Chain A
């Protein structure tokens, strides 16, 4: 990430782009910069305009207002087939009437590359994605993961400067998804290709991206690195869309906290920042920086390495996440507990 931040050349730029479908704005006044070689993910719930943004970039939709620049040039008048981008579609869009080899040759043929070189390049990339034995299969004869790899290979084979991924892992089961995340990451590193990915899966976004753009209702809510986004969400939507967030309101326990809270914001704390103790245990020594409340366990979920508690404090429910360790106290619904956290772990987020 460091070396990338040194280059920082701009590859893609959205300049105040608006896209209307009839009276409905799918994308509103969106400005965005993607650096060369960067892996940028657009994250948002369905209907947030993330797919429209990708389609605008791909050239399948034209912006109603504003301009999109790729490598410094406006592409408003450039049709999709002259934009030189590799795209992995949500359902892969492998040509069902062509073999794997012919699918991979297609982008090379369209660029007028000779047959002998095509064969060599297809062989090379098939080896890279571990599919050399499958080159004569039809797409329907491949598993989901294999289709995904063919789609990736097909998008990359012509060395386009930009790679677009539309919900690339949405159709895969969990194990395969993790495997493919590693594969995509390593391909991105090898090819050093500027990549824009669209997803609604926060885990995928956090794992893969250099930077994440969170969108809602056609607007950008926040753009930042995964760590910064999770640790310092700009507002309540980002906080609760990316991971779980406890909003601390009406707890009526801490004047000190209320005093430092900027007006119009919410106090938020992540579930894993809260520690849980038996109610009768005394406070720790460094109590000055800590805040604590007592409550009743409402529910406990055991999730392998984690134990999740839902604790009722006054009228609110707080989520607590604790790593399973030996010698831990285990609480059952109805147990009285004390919750503690460092006041420095509290974030104030806009509404």
Chain B
């Protein structure tokens, strides 16, 4: 009774719009899908057995896990030292390096995948160079191999590993390492015994995010891998395209989801903080799983790392003195990783100016013909315009709905909050092919397949999750006494929100809106499932081009998209990065 009373007073109602959209587009269909997969109401595992009976399927299953483990391991091996070196750099160098890591993170996944096709292809950059120098006589088969898959996946996932690591490492008090050294620990021991354990939370966030993304990865393996490198997502997509045996497809989707869930709970066990470990063991109720839910929510917060980059500037970090050799090696390493992260985009931009009939590197003549081909072709400009419209609609809808939900969640008691947050975040924790299939059935019931509204709703469930993550992080730092103060001065609830809360959380809201737009603007997998054949977004058109014929126009499109992250960083800078005015420079009132 008392709980009910409490519930009535809480603004939990603000989460209703978000939960309604989620339930209709994704929640109910995925439940129905699950029931279909077990042949409800008869309830049998025949579909799962059928899946596992085919050796090819089992091979894909293990391959998916294997590829994900290897890709995650490579990310770790490159990412950890990279994050350490970024953290140890001087303040200015660190800012530059961070921006250079964030740019690829914000760059379209399709564009980055396309860049590797251009570089690794049979008549791509590397083969052309080697052929023209006479080192080889026939092209090496670099692309459509496991190696190409790893190169592409690691390239895409590396920022996801580095950013949470840097954010945690920046928070480590450097004097702790100094203290360890003063107690006689040699540099490596000081690192191993003090720094590494303290960086474990970031390590875990990075591993978890990278691994879960890899499991559900579709685009990059499909574009760069050979026929034998299929991932589970590819298999499911093929099933959808060919047979559309719903029960079979549903079973495959739930097997993928199941692996992700198992891996999440294994990795989700708090390797890092032993503090919560004891308390969790002490609790014996059904809620015992919740702490790891909370850990998951915390890890997902790292998705918002670039947005939170502004906080990093506040913390000064002095690099310890080190010998010349190590400095040289470190610098070399950083340069190589940066080359790996940024070179592909540079190649695409340069090639987009080729004057010949085919793309070549370096271009023999320069022209803008591929750009004029882009702007002159209504099918390209139409797709771009469609994507912009959808992106803006998604950003507006999910920012409003997501901010309301985050505000409601913030004012709810913790147990309900972590449960609801977990539900709202499902669309970005589940593999996107699974979300896409669920959304397909959800929209089918509503008659929205192949409509703009349908695509906007599908994108919004993911975008709302990003907004909730980012706005919640901002609200967590918001001092609620400011609201009480406003109310004590006769400001009503609405006025309090408009005059005090909103201005103070605005950076988070803007960051959320930006991520919502990016999420929509770059989305292929779910869109391809729900778009029917009538709506063509830019990513869909690009994906089509990447898969079928390589129309060189795509280089121009990709180059234009590469410039977008610079725009996003500018937006982040303008909305979130503004330093609070200090005593010396009194800025005019920002809110008048």
Contact = CB atoms under 8 A, between A and B. Distances in A.
B487 A97 contact: no
A351 interface: no
A164 B488 CA distance: 10
Interface stretch (A88-96, A218-226, A255-263, A315-323): A88-96
Nearest to B3: A22
B504 interface: yes
Nearest to B503: A97
Contact of B490 (A102, A107, A138): A107
Contacts of B490: 81-82, 84, 107, 110-111, 158
Nearest to A84: B490
Contacts of A233: none
Contacts of B487: 59-60, 79-81
Contacts of B481: 89-91, 93
B491 A81 contact: yes
Interface string B573-590: 000000011110010011
Contacts of A83: 488
Interface in B552-592: 580-583, 586, 589-592
A227 interface: no
Contacts of B479: 91, 93
Contact of B504 (A87, A96, A106): A96
A18 B118 CA distance: 73
A199 interface: no
A154 interface: yes
Interface string B469-483: 000000000010110
A136 interface: yes
Contacts of B422: none
Given A89-B481, A136-B586, A81 B488 contact: yes
A106 B581 contact: no
A87 B503 contact: no
Nearest to A136: B586
B484 interface: yes
A91 B478 CA distance: 13
A147 to B, nearest CB: 13
A85 B488 contact: yes
A98 B490 CA distance: 17
A98 B493 CA distance: 19
A63 interface: no
B589 A58 contact: no
B494 to A, nearest CB: 10
Contacts of B489: 81, 86, 106-107, 110, 154, 158
Contacts of B492: 81
B500 interface: yes
Interface string A137-162: 11011000000000000110010000
A282 to B, nearest CB: 61
Select the residue from A82, A90, A93 with max chain B CB neighbours within 10 A: A93
B485 interface: yes
Contact of A98 (B488, B582, B591): B591
Given A96-B504, A138-B580, A106 B484 contact: no
Nearest to A166: B481
Interface string B489-515: 111110110011001100000000000
A102 B488 CA distance: 16
Nearest to A139: B580
Nearest to A86: B488
B488 A137 contact: no
B486 interface: yes
Nearest to B504: A97
A99 interface: yes
Contact of A138 (B493, B581, B592): B581
Nearest to B486: A106
A83 B504 CA distance: 25
A235 B581 CA distance: 53
A63 to B, nearest CB: 13
B54 to A, nearest CB: 55
Given A81-B492, A110-B490, A141-B583, A102 B484 contact: no
Contacts of A106: 486, 489, 491, 499
B122 to A, nearest CB: 58
A206 to B, nearest CB: 27
Interface string B437-458: 0000000000000000000000
A140 B489 CA distance: 21
Contacts of A94: 485
A99 B495 CA distance: 18
A99 B589 contact: yes
Contact of A87 (B484, B491, B586, B590): B484
A340 to B, nearest CB: 52
B488 A87 contact: yes
Given A81-B492, A98-B591, A154-B489, A93 B586 contact: no
A58 B484 CA distance: 9
B484 A93 contact: yes
B13 to A, nearest CB: 17
Select the residue from B484, B491, B500, B592 with max chain A CB neighbours within 10 A: B484
B374 to A, nearest CB: 43
Contact of B485 (A79, A89, A99, A111): A89
Given A89-B484, A106-B486, A98 B491 contact: no
Nearest to A82: B490
Interface string B1-31: 0100000000000000000000000000000
Nearest to B492: A81
Nearest to A83: B488
A194 B139 CA distance: 89
A106 B583 CA distance: 23
Interface string B390-427: 00000000000000000000000000000000000000
The 4 closest A-B pairs by CB, nearest first: A107-B489, A93-B485, A110-B490, A87-B488
Interface of B: 2, 479, 481-482, 484-493, 495-496, 499-500, 503-504, 580-583, 586, 589-592
25 contacts: A59-B487, A60-B487, A81-B486, A81-B490, A87-B484, A91-B481, A95-B482, A95-B486, A96-B482, A96-B580, A97-B504, A97-B590, A102-B589, A102-B592, A106-B489, A110-B489, A110-B490, A110-B495, A136-B586, A137-B583, A137-B586, A138-B580, A138-B586, A141-B583, A141-B586
Given A60-B487, A98-B589, A106-B486, 5 more contacts: A59-B487, A81-B493, A96-B580, A140-B580, A154-B489
